[in-house]
Amino acid sequence: MGRDLAGFYDSAYARGGERHARWRDLGARGKADHIAELAPDARRVVEVGCGDGALLAELSRRGYGESLAGFDISEAAIDLARSRSIPHVARLETFDGHRLPAADGEFDLGLLSHVLEHVPEPRALLRETARVARTVVVEVPLERNLSGRRSVSRERASEAGHLEALDRDAMRTLIEQAGLRVGRELLDPLPREVHTFFADTPAARARALAKAALRRGVFSLSESAAERAFTLHYAALCVPS
């Protein structure tokens, strides 16, 4: 897959620590909200790029799905996911980033939550996920905007392993090229808890709260203006075209 992505994420999970684990747990709550809104009913669910299992754990806690599974390229991530001993999780396995170890149509719903921006061939991975799951929910940050063009934003995205900045048109094109279509979609400017998570001083917290309020205010007035100005999270239910 080009550069050693598995090694990159093995190292990232090894050095992340408790705070980053809590950050992933916080993000999982919003992701689970989006999944429940877009695909309220699914029995057999697989998450591709499951990481440390934060989202699977949140879905299990909510009683979503009868059987859950997760695949990831990082052995370190899968080890962390296994250590959670998540109820209703039947399988947690590594894969090579190309071919999933599952049969055609084995799952009702596939999840690619904040994964496609991390891989060099997102269309191929989306198509492969659609091979094993009848429908797919994808979620990505829309970073192709005015704020995302700043050098500090590009540096943060690169440090997080993002390979490409996406917007909604790019996502819709990718979904179409994977042989799918958008059934439903949503945008999220994110709650203030996300914006304030890494604010360690009163001044930093005040700035984060102001940022969150401004973004939600702009979003409530015009989603398209918000989308052009700063990063929103985009989630879509993808169904066969």
Q: Which domains does the chain have, with CATH numbers?
A: 5-189+233-240 (3.40.50.150)
Under the banding of pLDDT at 50, 70 and 90, the label for residue 121 is: very high
DSSP 8-state symbol, 2: -
Does residue 3 carry a pLDDT above 80?
Answer: no
pLDDT in tens, 4-33: 788 888 888 877 788 989 999 999 999 999
Q: Name the β-bridge partners of 92.
A: 70
Higher pLDDT, 241 or 110: 110
CB 137 within 8 A of CB 113: yes
Question: What pLDDT score was predicted for residue 2?
Answer: 40
pLDDT in tens, 163-219: 989 999 999 999 999 999 999 999 999 999 999 999 999 999 999 999 999 999 999
Cut 0.75: pTM above it: yes
Pairwise CA distance, residues 95 & 47, whole Å: 12
Higher pLDDT, 109 or 12: 109
CB 153 within 8 A of CB 175: no
Does residue 152 carry a pLDDT above 60?
Answer: yes
Pairing of strands 133-142, 232-240: antiparallel
CB 217 within 8 A of CB 208: no
